[in-house]
Amino acid sequence: MRYLLIPLLIFAFLTPLMPSSASGDTARSDRARIEAATAVMHDIMSIRDNSIPQGMLKDAYGIAVFPGVLKAAFIIGARYGQGIFVTRDAHGNWSNPSFLTLAGGNFGFQAGAESTDLILVFMTKNSVESLGNGDLTLGATVSVAAGPVGRAAQASTDVKLKAEIYSYSKTRGLFAGIALDGTVVRVDTDANYAYYGVRDPLKTAAARVPADAKRFSCVVAQYTGEPNKVCS
């Protein structure tokens, strides 16, 4: 019950602060979101001996990247971010990215604010399908755990815990797994429509696919050690 109550309160708390996909230069902001996510993926995977285990990425069904997630706290801790998500198609290639939003938080006496980069690694088909079917509440709709880091973690028991999603955070140069129970992830249909001409590019063929979207898919393919048909 707690996991269902907190997201509703957090969305009410954050709604006045959330940028609208229909305001400003939407096309430019959406491209910037993809470019930032691409930079985050490069940055995190280039951390020597302390990145996401490549074997986990290779086995993943989907990967979500949220650059610059804002975490603010004053009595109620709150987190909000915008990101993108790719999943595998029927042939095992990484899809064009779909836009996402993320919101969550916790209660406690606290104050302050910080920005962090988040990555979610979807390890099951069910977790990907749950996101496509509506709001995904981490820890309630699907199981989530702080992800292991480093090459040695590939064979560790943490990787074998069978969580459906593993979560990671990079703040102030430090990269580690992070607990995100109660956080809500949802498809940003407005941003998808503005960018692709369809509300869910994972379910409907996009009317147009800009080069930066293909570039992100190729970066994911690079770090999973797999070829992608759209990559030269």
pLDDT digits (tens, 9 = 90+) for 67-100: 988 765 554 556 789 999 999 988 888 999 999 9
Given a cut of 50, is residue 223 above it in pLDDT? Answer: yes
- Residues for the chain: how many in total? 232
How many other β-carbons are positioned within 10 Å of the β-carbon of residue 91? 6
Taking the C-alpha atoms of residue 163 and residue 145, their distance in angstroms, rounded to an integer, is 6
How many Cβ atoms are within 10 Å of 213's Cβ, its own excluded?
A: 25
pLDDT of 195 above 90: yes
- DSSP annotation of 48: T
The two structure tokens encoding residue 190? 């407005």
Residue that has been written with the tokens 């409907």 in this structure: 204
Question: How far out from the chain centre does Cα 164 lie?
Answer: 14
The helix (run of H) or strand (run of E) holding residue 129 is helix 125-132
Distances in Å between the Cα of 230 and the Cα atoms of 40, 66, 86, 94, 186 are 21, 23, 14, 9, 26
pLDDT in tens, 125-180: 999 999 998 889 999 999 999 998 886 565 454 455 579 999 999 987 788 888 88
Beta-strand (E) ranges in the chain?
A: 62-87, 98-122, 136-137, 144-146, 165-171, 174-177, 184-187
- The token pair at 20 is 């609208």
Distance of alpha carbon 204 from alpha carbon 55, whole angstroms: 30
Using CA of residue 225, residue 228, residue 231, residue 232, what is the dihedral sign?
Answer: positive
Q: What is the pLDDT of residue 90?
A: 81
Distances (CA, A) of 138 to 71, 75, 130, 135: 17, 22, 11, 10
The C-alpha atoms of residue 212 and residue 38 are separated, in whole angstroms, by 9
User: Any residues with CB less than 8 A from the CB of 177 and at least 6 apart, and which?
Assistant: 145, 146, 147, 148, 149, 166, 167, 168, 169
Please report where in the chains the tokens 């400003």 appear, as a residue.
24
Domain positions in the chain are: 2-224
C-beta separation of 31 from 84 below 8 A: no
* Averaged pLDDT for residues 180-197: 92
What per-residue confidence (pLDDT) applies to 50? 83
